[in-house]
């Protein structure tokens, strides 16, 4: 099942390697919506407070980490691990390192139809770790002004 699913989504989201000219043609047709103030807000360093807010928002009994450990681990041993957890998250978020350095996502396939037999009949849901939630919280402030509700 894993191989068939991986092949299906790799083909679905494969790039046709557009040229720089084609890419710039698309960008030139799109009007900029991110203001200078929004950009400054998005580019500022992440803070300890932003990390703590996300940790408090996570349901400890539902959030499963890629290693199979429930997020419940963090609050239970917070006094021991908090410094390391925050330090690692902030080091990655505040550097030029790609976010994939923080680990993998757990992908769950939700059936779209009752009698599912093909991969296309499933909806993939990605469960990312805390770092992605922190980034999403920051983006949320700007997205409603940038993306049309339609």
* Residue 109 backbone phi and psi in degrees, to 5: -100, 120
- Give the H/E segment covering residue 106: strand 106-111
| Cβ contact 121:112 at 8 Å | yes
Average pLDDT of each block of 10 consecutive residues along the chain (150 residues)? 84 84 90 90 91 77 58 68 76 73 64 87 71 81 81
Angle, in degrees to the nearest 10, between helices 36-43 and 130-146: 180
> What residue spans define the domains of the chain?
2-146
pLDDT reported for residue 138: 86
pLDDT reported for residue 21: 93
Put simply, whether the predicted model's pTM sits higher than 0.85 gets the answer: no
Taking alpha carbons only, the member of 69, 102, 106 closest to residue 87 is 102
């Amino acid at each position: 099942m894993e191989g068939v699913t991986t092949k299906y989504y790799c083909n679905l989201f494969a790039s046709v390697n557009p040229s720089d000219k084609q890419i710039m043609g698309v960008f030139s047709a799109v009007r900029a919506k991110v203001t200078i103030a929004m950009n400054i807000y998005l580019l500022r360093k992440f803070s300890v407070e932003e990390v703590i807010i996300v940790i408090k928002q996570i349901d400890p009994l539902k959030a499963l980490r890629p290693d199979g450990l429930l997020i419940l681990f963090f609050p239970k041993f917070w006094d021991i691990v908090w410094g390391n957890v925050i330090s690692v998250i902030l080091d990655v978020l505040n550097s030029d390192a790609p976010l994939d350095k923080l680990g993998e996502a757990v992908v769950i396939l939700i059936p779209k139809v009752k009698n599912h037999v093909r991969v296309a009949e499933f909806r993939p849901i990605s469960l990312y770790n805390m770092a992605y939630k922190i980034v999403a919280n920051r983006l949320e402030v700007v997205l409603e002004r940038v993306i049309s509700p339609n």
